[in-house]
Amino acid sequence: MPRRNAIAIAAVVMFLAFSLAIFAQWPSFPTPGSPKLANGQPDLNGPAPKTADGKPDLSGVWSAPRGGPGGPGDGKGKGKGPGGPPPPPPPPSNGKAGYPQGGFQNMAQNMPGGLLPYQEWALKLRNERLAENSKDHPDAHCLPLNPVQLWFHPQPRKLIQNTREIVMLAESNGGTRQIFTDGRALPSKDDVQPWWYGYSVGKWEGDTLVVESTGFLDNGWIDENGSPITNEAHVTERIRRPNYGTLEVEVTVNDPKTYTRPWTVTANQRLMPDDELIEFICGENNRSTPHLVGK
């Protein structure tokens, strides 16, 4: 299949995902206690909520901002279908440390040269996957995404926080990720069964939740272009909620088997206020898999 056709098909898939997220949500239900503007709409620049112990409450339905006419984050698309309010503007593209915003298609889209610091074998594998039109990407087969890419998926994710753990419910493929915040230590990668989402523990440093993850399945994917991640990887996420409508997320990947040095991208999120996830069963009546082709 010519590369331009593969890109066109990918664009259609992304459009359909956006259509689901934009037009097929549950009926809106106001979030109790949320800050409001004078017109009754949620005040996305209002103060971030706190839990009973004084920590920022990261709970909510979040999406990765995207540009483009009529797309989420451009100020023109509708957040609730016809007649609904426009989505909020996207958070800044750079975190406080100036790390580039990553990307669902290419994690290094805002890095010099558009490439991650691959080891030679990893760049070769990435190019081979890309040449095959990324037909073996787990998402194309209704399988979970690595957490690095999951932050950038066009379908939203919901965080539910309590004192012992934070659960991420991904609309994409009905995924569930656990982040343990009960004080347990991060185990060695050799002491846990490899998981799609890895094994994650979090601790608070002031108002920043620091999440460390290991125990990933080997040779996973972290973007549509095929950038790999191995079971040697240690991923660190630093998550802040500076106001009601924004999550600032910095993701650092340290995988010496795959990359010549650790690297960091931002995965900032915008709140989808008064909204919920839809039920997305990717494998139901999925007839596209037999038609996936490579070069």
Nearest-angstrom CA–CA distance, 164 and 70:
39
Checking if the pLDDT of 23 tops 80, the result is no
182-194: pLDDT as tens digits = 999 999 989 999 9
Q: Which residue has the higher pLDDT, 195 or 289?
A: 195
The pLDDT score that the predictor gives to residue 88 is 41
Per-residue model confidence (pLDDT) at position 98: 84
pLDDT in tens, 85-118: 334 444 444 445 589 999 999 999 999 999 999 9
* pLDDT score of 25: 54
Q: pLDDT by residue (tens digit) across 135-151?
A: 999 999 999 999 999 99
Per-residue pLDDT, averaged over 123-134, amounts to: 96
Measured distance CA(58)–CA(222) in Å, rounded: 24
Where do the DSSP E strands lie in 72-154? none
Tally of CB atoms within 10 A around 3: 11
| Helix/strand/coil for 130 | helix
The model carries a pTM of 0.81
Domain ranges of the chain: 3-284
Count of beta carbons in the 10 Å neighbourhood of residue 188: 10
Residue 195 scores a pLDDT above 50:
yes
Tell me, what DSSP letter sits at residue 216? Answer: B
- Integer CA distances (angstroms), 81 to 27, 62, 177, in order: 11, 18, 29
197-218 tens-digit pLDDT: 999 999 999 999 999 999 999 9
pLDDT digits (tens, 9 = 90+) for 38-82: 898 899 999 999 999 999 999 999 999 764 333 333 333 333 333
Average pLDDT along the chain: 83
Between 260 and 27, the higher pLDDT residue: 260
Model pLDDT, residue 40: 85
DSSP H helices, the chain, are 3-23, 120-131, 147-150
290 burial (CB, 10 Å; 0-12 / 13-18 / 19+) is: exposed
Instruction: Please tell me whether residue 213 adopts helix, strand or coil conformation.
Output: strand
**Three-state secondary structure of 160-180:** EECCCEEEEEECHHHEEEEEE
The answer for residues whose C-beta is within 8 angstroms of residue 216's C-beta and 6 or more apart is 146, 189, 194, 195, 196, 198, 229, 230, 231, 233, 235
Question: 214-272: per-residue pLDDT in tens?
Answer: 999 999 999 999 999 999 999 999 999 999 999 999 999 999 999 999 999 999 999 99
Residue 97: predicted pLDDT = 59
pLDDT at position 74: 34
pLDDT at 28: 75
pLDDT at 7 over 90: no
Q: Is residue 124 predicted with pLDDT exceeding 60? A: yes
Rounded CA separation 283/204 (Å): 37
